[in-house]
């Protein structure tokens, strides 16, 4: 069910315990095929549901609603691993800000979902616990890094989930799994309690079946938090009130020069059809230019790896997480080296080394500084584009879901899967992916809309209007029971 359908049932007297039990049963049935979860908190969730049933008069907008969290979001008393061996056994003593807000709204956390280690990847294959699988075809990736959350929603294990998006890690798996994924404006949602990958890029956001459900989740988790120095004080409107279905006169910019090479024919066809749907609703299509968008991937992988190199220096085996066994005579240096070698996977090591290299003396100006300069040019491109357009439309991904193992030996090809998504992170802009079709192999395709800073309302209004005239989001994968 959608979140809206579920909250109606709960408001009409349905038991939160009954809903959570059904959710846990679905997880039990589908999880062996999908591998969406790292930890399922069944008893904790049922205890929470019982308490909510006993205090129904105090219910919030998510009263009794089961929610899954990407396992890089801290939960007090529940293991939080970021899918890394180096955090095996780590149990946070506090809740992330988004967890506090979800539970204040009445949500029930049912588990922690799989991801690429430290959110570094586009396929969930970099998880130390093995990959998650796409519910539409279990031989294919659900995307990444928030693949577990996307797969859990697509497979009907939970109605909504949270992920984090550093270069497309909500929107890309949402597209590949046929669900809605929203990356809010940078600073809209507190990063307090999010295990950092790249601090100037990371943002938490929701997965759902509909834009209307994503709007409810956004209203719950967004808002200023003094514990996050980058948290915005911008007022949070009720974005659900903006979902009128009216997009008449809304200018949708299309960067056609950026959409040619490397885009699968099925993606191109679905994207063109989605523009026709918006146009039929009264939107106006305008051609725009994003001249520096093609540099997004190299700029992203310089800035993100540099920040990862700094952020992951804290994992040294001293304070928490994995610590390597030492031989007689080994000192502190050997402990650091062995702990980090044993604890980090190949992709994390690759990114730490790349980030350390671009920050090193003699290379900083040539790589990191140059990337920041191009990042500024990319921001200017979007500022100029928004003089002519209210929203910018692209496909979310250049291809449908690819086979597991297909790109693991070619990191560059893996990185290029994020070509349409990284710009929103580099510029801090909000963006959403909405199901817009299926490939010849019956694999989902996503439409991405990008909006102005702090204008999630317009994004969600357009996405909701699109879903009112399409049924792609109502289709479900035929999982074997």
Q: What is the pLDDT of residues 247-267, one digit of tens each?
A: 999 999 999 999 987 899 999
Q: Which domain holds residue 44?
A: 3-244
Q: What is the pLDDT of residues 204-217, one digit of tens each?
A: 999 999 999 999 99
Hey, how many other C-beta atoms are within 10 angstroms of the C-beta on 460? 27
Strands 160-165 and 180-183: unpaired
Residue 271: inside a domain? no
Residue 302: inside a domain? no
What's the Rg (C-alpha) of the chain? 21
Residue 467: inside a domain? no
Nearest-CA neighbor of 191 among 102, 113, 97? 97
Spans of the chain below 70 pLDDT:
57-58, 480-481
Residue 45: inside a domain? yes
Q: Helices (H) and strands (E) in the chain — how many of each?
A: 15, 11
Residue 250: inside a domain? no
Q: What is the pLDDT of residue 481?
A: 44
Looking at residue 180, the DSSP 8-state letter turns out to be E
Q: Where are the alpha helices (DSSP H) in 139-186?
A: 147-154, 171-177
Hey, how many other C-beta atoms are within 10 angstroms of the C-beta on 93? 7
Looking at residue 194, the DSSP 8-state letter turns out to be B
Residue 204: inside a domain? yes
Residue 343: inside a domain? no
CATH of the domain at 83: 3.90.1300.10
Residue 171: inside a domain? yes
Strands 66-70 and 160-165: parallel
Distance CA 467, CA 66 (A): 23
Q: What is the pLDDT of residue 327?
A: 86
Tell me which residues are annotated as active site.
70, 145, 169
Q: What is the pLDDT of residues 214-244, one digit of tens each?
A: 999 999 999 999 999 999 999 999 999 999 9
CA distance to 28, 131, 156, 255, per residue, from 65 (Å) = 18, 27, 13, 39
Hey, how many other C-beta atoms are within 10 angstroms of the C-beta on 481? 6
By residue count, the chain amounts to 481
CB 98 within 8 A of CB 231: no
What is the count of structural domains for the chain?
1
Q: What is the pLDDT of residue 58?
A: 65
């Amino acid at each position: 069910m959608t979140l809206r359908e579920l909250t109606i049932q709960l408001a009409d007297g349905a038991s939160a315990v009954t809903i959570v039990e059904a959710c846990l049963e679905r997880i039990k049935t589908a999880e062996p095929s999908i591998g969406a979860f790292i930890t399922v908190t069944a008893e904790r969730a049922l205890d929470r549901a019982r308490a909510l049933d006993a205090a129904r008069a105090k219910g919030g907008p998510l009263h009794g609603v089961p929610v899954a969290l990407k396992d890089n979001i801290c939960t007090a008393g529940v293991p939080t691993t970021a899918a890394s061996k180096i955090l095996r056994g780590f149990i946070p003593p506090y809740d992330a800000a988004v967890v506090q807000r979800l539970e204040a709204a009445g949500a029930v956390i049912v588990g922690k979902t799989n991801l690429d280690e430290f959110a570094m990847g586009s396929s969930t294959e970099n998880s130390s616990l093995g990959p998650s699988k796409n519910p539409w075809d279990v031989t294919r990736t659900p995307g990444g890094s928030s693949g577990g959350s996307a797969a859990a929603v697509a497979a009907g294990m939970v109605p909504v989930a949270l992920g984090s998006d550093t270069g497309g890690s909500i929107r890309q798996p949402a597209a590949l799994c046929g669900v809605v994924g929203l990356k809010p404006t940078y600073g809209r949602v507190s990063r307090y309690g999010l295990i950092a990958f790249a601090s100037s890029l990371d943002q938490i956001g929701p997965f759902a079946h509909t834009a209307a459900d994503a709007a409810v989740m956004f209203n719950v988790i967004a808002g200023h938090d003094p514990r996050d120095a980058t948290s915005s004080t911008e007022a949070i409107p009720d974005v659900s009130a903006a979902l009128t279905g009216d997009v008449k006169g809304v200018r949708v910019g299309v960067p056609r020069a950026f959409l040619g090479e490397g885009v699968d024919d099925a993606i191109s066809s679905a994207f063109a059809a989605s523009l026709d749907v918006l146009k039929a609703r009264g939107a106006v299509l305008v051609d725009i230019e994003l001249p520096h968008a093609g540099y997004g991937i190299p700029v992203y992988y310089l800035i993100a790896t540099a920040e990862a190199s700094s952020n992951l220096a804290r994992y040294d085996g001293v304070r928490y997480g994995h610590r390597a066994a030492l031989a007689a005579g080994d000192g502190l240096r050997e402990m650091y080296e062995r702990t980090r070698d044993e604890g980090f996977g190949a992709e994390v090591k690759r990114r730490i080394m790349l980030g350390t290299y671009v920050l090193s003396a003699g290379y900083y100006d040539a790589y990191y500084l140059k990337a920041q300069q191009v990042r500024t040019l990319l921001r200017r491109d979007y500022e100029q584009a928004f003089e002519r357009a209210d929203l910018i439309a692209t496909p979310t991904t250049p291809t449908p879901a690819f086979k597991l193992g297909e790109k693991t030996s070619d990191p560059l090809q893996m990185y290029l899967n994020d070509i349409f998504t990284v710009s929103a992170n580099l510029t801090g802009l909000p963006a959403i992916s909405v199901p817009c079709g299926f490939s010849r192999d019956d694999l989902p395709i996503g439409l991405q809309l990008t909006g102005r800073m702090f204008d999630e309302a317009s994004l969600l209004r357009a996405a909701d209007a699109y879903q009112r005239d399409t049924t792609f989001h109502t289709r479900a994968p035929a999982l074997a029971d």
